[in-house]
Amino acid sequence: MRRCRQVIAVGAVIMVAGLALLRAGAAPGCGVGWLVPGQPVNGLGMGTVLAPRAVTVLARVTPQHGRPAAGVLSTVQ
């Protein structure tokens, strides 16, 4: 459980870096090609955050509430 929290934190930092790259590429006068480096970095961070988040959230749910909790989680994502 603790490792999942660390992975989520690292993923959030990677997402921030990707969003900063996208922001820099969206400056006036920059071409569309400057947006390309930020997309994979942001995607990597997003993937690193979303997968362990599901494990972290559903780990604390009782078995009788597992199905509704999974439905809420997938709706929120």
How far is residue 16 from each of residues 2, 23, 44, 64, measured CA to CA in Å? Answer: 22, 10, 11, 37
- The full set of domain ranges for the chain reads 2-76
* Cα–Cα distance for residue pair 10/19, rounded to 1 Å: 14
* Cα–Cα distance for residue pair 64/44, rounded to 1 Å: 33
Mean of the per-residue pLDDT values of the chain:
88
Q: What pTM value is reported for the model?
A: 0.75
Total Cβ atoms within 10 A of residue 9:
12
Instruction: Inform me whether the pLDDT recorded for 77 exceeds 80.
Output: no
Q: What percentage of the chain reaches a pLDDT higher than 70?
A: 99
Exposed, middle or buried: residue 18 (CB in 10 Å: 0-12, 13-18, 19+)?
Answer: buried
